Amino acid sequence: MDLYQWAVAGLDLDGKTILDAATGAGEATLVWAEYIHKHNMDARIISVDIDQPQEWIDKIRGELGDLQKYVELIQADIFQLDCLGDESIDVVNCDSTIVFLNPRPLKLLTAFKEFHRVLKPEGKLVIVSEFPPENTPQTMGQWQRWNFAKAIWALNAETWSAEPRPEEVESALELLGFADFQCQRFPGYPIRDFQACIDEWGEMMLEKISELVWPELKKALSQQVQAVKARISEEGFMLPDQYVLKCIKKG
C-alpha cells in the first residue's frame, strides 16, 4: 500500500466535509477527490492555501477535471482559518506542509489548534510529512539542495523549512486533545521529469542570493547553485522518506 492509499484507507467520507491544508500543487486534493469519486461518495473538499495564484488555480482545476465538483479552493491562512466555523469539518488532511509551518515550532501549535477547533468531535486528522533528506552517496545532491536552501534563507534572516519528527508531532497533538495515533513510514522514491522542479529551485535560490547583504558571498553561492543542480542532474531526484500520522480529535 502506498502512502496515499494508507492515508485514506478505510475512510468513509460519505456526507463528509474534508479540509485539505494546504493545496500547494493540488496533488493531495486530487488524490482525495479521486477516492471520493471511486467510492461513489457524496463529499466536499475545502482546499485552502495562503498563496493561490490564478495560474495555479487554473492548473489545479485542469488536473481535477470533472472531480472539481467535489472541491472548493479557498485562499486562507492555516494559522487563522476564519472561513471555517468551530466543529464544521469531519477530516483534516495536511500534506507536505508542516515543514513550512514548523520553522517557528510554537507557531505550528497554532495551526494544530486551528485543526482541532474546526474538527468535529471524533473528527480525523491525517498528516503527511517528510524526514530530512539523508546525506548518503546516492542522495548527496538532494541533501545539499535542501540544506543549501536553509542556509540561504537563514542568511536572509528567514526560515525555509524544519522537519518535525512524527513523535514530536504526536506529542504536540496529544497536548491539544488528539488521540488514537497511528503512524507509518514510507521510503523515499525517485522522481522522474524533475528538471523543471530543479530549475525552479535554482531560480529561487539565485533570487534569494541577490537579496543578501554580503556582496562578496553572492558569486560563490551562485556558483554553488549550479554545482548542486549538476549533482542532482547526475544522481536523480530522490524524495526523502515520508510518514503518515493519523489521529482523532477526542470526543
Residues lying near ligand SAM in the complex (CB under 6 A) are found at: 22, 24-28, 49-51, 77-79, 95-97, 100-101
Cell 497533538 maps to which residue?
173
Nearer to ligand SAM, 127 or 221 (CB): 127
Nearer to ligand SAM, 22 or 91 (CB): 22
State the residue number with the nearest CB to ligand SAM.
24
**Nearest distance from C-beta of residue 217 to ligand SAM, angstroms:** 27
**Nearest distance from C-beta of residue 198 to ligand SAM, angstroms:** 16
Nearer to ligand SAM, 57 or 176 (CB): 57
Nearer to ligand SAM, 125 or 221 (CB): 125
SS (H, E, C) the chain: CCHHHHHHCCCCCCCCEEEEECCCCCHHHHHHHHHHHHCCCCCEEEEEECCCCHHHHHHHHHHHHHHHHHEEEEECECCECCCCCCCCEEEEEEECCHHHHCCCHHHHHHHHHHHHHHEEEEEEEEEEEECCCCCCCCCHHHHHHHHHHHHHHHHCCCCCCCCCCHHHHHHHHHHHCEEEEEEEEECCCEECCCHHHHHHHHHHHHHHHHCCCCHHHHHHHHHHHHHHHHHHHHHCEECCCEEEEEEEECC
Number of C-beta neighbours around residue 130 at 10 A = 18
Q: Strand 44-49 and strand 17-21: pairing?
A: parallel
**Nearest distance from C-beta of residue 26 to ligand SAM, angstroms:** 5
**Nearest distance from C-beta of residue 131 to ligand SAM, angstroms:** 15
**Nearest distance from C-beta of residue 251 to ligand SAM, angstroms:** 27
**Nearest distance from C-beta of residue 22 to ligand SAM, angstroms:** 4
Nearer to ligand SAM, 22 or 169 (CB): 22
Nearer to ligand SAM, 100 or 181 (CB): 100
